[in-house]
Amino acid sequence: MVAPAAITARIERSLTALLAEVNDLATVGAEWQSLPEWNQASIALDWSHLMADYLTELDNFYRSDAMTADQQARFNVLRGQLTTSLPIIARLNLYRPPIPLDD
Amino acid sequence: MDEGGGGSSSETDALILEAAQTARVLTVAELQLVLDQVAVAGFDPGARERARGSLAGLRWRGQVLRGADMLPPADAHYLRHAAIGQEWPAGTTLEGYVTSIRAVILDERSGVLISRYQAAWQLTILRRSAELQGPLGFAWVLLDYRLATGHWVTAYQPSRGLLVLQDPRRTNLRWLRRPR
């Protein structure tokens, strides 16, 4: 299925942003205790936005067959990385991914 | 800081706390006093946060950002949500992002919510994004103000349904004014 350009742009934006943020989680976890509380809140609030809005929308696109094969592969990489990151997400008390992380 | 609005941040924070802790209904004038102060508070110009995640590699102010670089919060959140995220209209500048947030805070249609987030009181203002919805934006605009710092924490566009407000880290939610 060829998705309209607007949907493709949303998929690409969200995949890129989420993969970058998940890749940075280990660094966030290492510096967490040294961060002022406002900075911890800022990170947590933005993470919540990524989970509640970017990730749920991506999952909807995935399940409605709006993604290319390449995008599906990257989405599955993201889901795998989120699965691996669940312990650090729990340790930092961040918003847990609200989508199934495997089919 | 007292740059207008008629009230100091300590007076307006006291009003917010009173509304949160006693469930007293603020008068229209009291709520306006609070919102005027929150509008001028802005992001903390003296704070710095790391150019983490998607900001690394972005060209900003003549330099390519590295993940270890430190940015003012206004820059970090503008880049994340407007420049990269395209949640705001194309061409929105840093100044435009901040100005638009102030307009949302002062818009009579905006909802105002008090809650505790990670054990600290926050005031959340949200409004339908309307003309502020960019090419990759969502249905609402949300701003979080943290009483402990007297500054904005973040501003972004949540989607329809406001799932972010169901975040279990956000407790003691109470609407001071519902969005219209």
| pLDDT, tens digit (0-9, with 9 covering 90-100), for A24-35 | 999 999 999 999
Query: How far, in Å, are A20, A48, B41, B98, B110 from residue B143 at the CA level?
Result: 23, 13, 12, 11, 11
Which residue of chain A comes nearest to B142, CA vs CA?
Answer: A49
CB-CB: which of B122, B148, B158 is closest to A52? Answer: B158
Residue B21 vs residue B88, higher pLDDT: B88
Residue B7 has pLDDT above 60, yes or no: no
For residue B43, the tally of other CB atoms under 10 A from its CB is 22
pLDDT number for residue B168 = 85
In this prediction, residues B115-133 reach a mean pLDDT of 94
What is the pLDDT, as a whole number, of residue B23? 78
Alpha-helix residue ranges (DSSP H) falling in chain B: 9-22, 28-41, 73-78, 94-106
Is residue B2 scored above 50 in pLDDT?
no
Beta bridge partners of B70: B50
Tell me the pLDDT tens digit for each residue of B40-88.
Answer: 999 999 999 999 999 999 999 999 999 999 999 999 999 999 999 999 9
Q: What is the pLDDT of residues A57-69, one digit of tens each?
A: 999 999 999 999 9
- Average pLDDT, integer, range B143-152: 95
**Is the ipTM beyond the 0.85 threshold?**
yes
- In angstroms, the separation between the Cα of residue B175 and the nearest Cα of chain A is 19
Mean pLDDT of B3-25: 77
Contact between A58 and A11 under an 8 Å Cβ cutoff? The reply is yes
How much is the average pLDDT of B157-171?
Answer: 85
**pTM for the whole thing?**
0.93
C-alpha to C-alpha distance for B18 and B30, rounded to whole angstroms = 11
B52 vs A24, A57, A98: nearest CB? A24
pLDDT for B8 equals 66
- How many C-beta atoms surround the C-beta of residue B32 within 10 A? 16
